[in-house]
Amino acid sequence: MRFEQVWFRYARRAGWTLREVTATVEQGATIVVLGRNGAGKSTLLQLAAGVLRPGRGAVRDRPAVVGWVPERFPADQPFTAADYLHRMASVRGAAPGAVDRWVERLLLTEHTGTRLADLSKGTAQKVGLAQALLVPPGLLVLDEPWEGLDSVARTLIPDIVAEVTSAGGSVLVSDHRGEITALPGAIHWSIAEGTLHTSAPPPSAAATPVEEEDEVVVEVAVRRSEADRAVVALRAAGHRVLGVRE
């Protein structure tokens, strides 16, 4: 997908929020968008997702399936979490079982009967994340995805990003809290004064895990259905999970 000479402003007489953005999102890339508050990160993400349209220029070759997780999930809707996700699954043509899979993975089971408006911010964010993943996205756009999430859910984000990119999808993530370290190998884009600066991917720390002194490797077998939960629990306990295999 490409941004070609994209300019954007929120009103005809307003100043330009973004000027002359030209950049490419390669298939399988993870791009972290950095910038101070109000720099234009959300604006760029919404242009990528197709939620906003450029004032000048164009966004070309956007993948057919875009998953967009806004900074704040719009919870003022008259549905329970389960109703909402099943409706979204039906509109999007998701595979059977997609809702149950993401409800289980994001530990939402006990909240499915709760009305969206009554969910905590973090749980509502997880519902927002689930809806974006019901159909495997060619482009996943995550606006400050760590905001409001509990520590267990936060550990899931890098895994989900890795799954989307390894399936050939691209991921655009905004970050103003420095959580970027959780996404080694990501390309950095930064916005300042309405201008986008891109940089090459940093050397990946994840590709060659550093052997810590005083560590041993413990091999653990868990039921297939428990694998995600076990990985989350081990990471939350501060252990390094080196991989999951059959």
Ligand X SMILES: Nc1ncnc2c1ncn2[C@@H]1O[C@H](COP(=O)(O)OP(=O)(O)OP(=O)(O)O)[C@@H](O)[C@H]1O
User: How far is CA 188 from each of CA 25, 56, 62, 105, 183, rounded to the nearest angstrom?
Assistant: 11, 24, 20, 28, 11
Report the residue number, 40 or 158, with the smaller CB distance to ligand X.
40
Nearer to ligand X, 71 or 159 (CB): 71
Q: 53 near 24, Cβ under 8 Å?
A: no
Cα 234 → chain centroid: 22
Q: Which is nearer to ligand X, 17 or 30 (CB)?
A: 17
Residue 37 C-beta: closest distance to ligand X, Å: 4
Residues engaged in binding ligand X (CB under 6 A) = 10, 17, 35, 37-43, 71, 176
| Cα Dmax for the chain | 62
Residue with tokens 């242009």: 47
H-helix or E-strand spanning residue 198: strand 195-198
CA distance 125 to 11: 29
Q: How far is the CB of 142 from ligand X (least distance, A)?
A: 12
Smallest distance from the beta carbon of 43 to ligand X, in angstroms? 3
HSE-CB at 134 with a 13 A cutoff on CA atoms is 26
> Nearer to ligand X by C-beta: 10 or 209?
10
Question: Which of residues 38 and 113 has its CB atom nearest to ligand X in the complex?
Answer: 38
Residue 165 Cβ, how far from ligand X at the closest point, in Å? 22
d(Cα 207, Cα 155) in Å, to the nearest integer? 18
Report how far residue 69's alpha carbon sits from residue 132's, in angstroms, rounded to the nearest whole number.
Answer: 6
CB of 52 to ligand X, least distance (A): 9
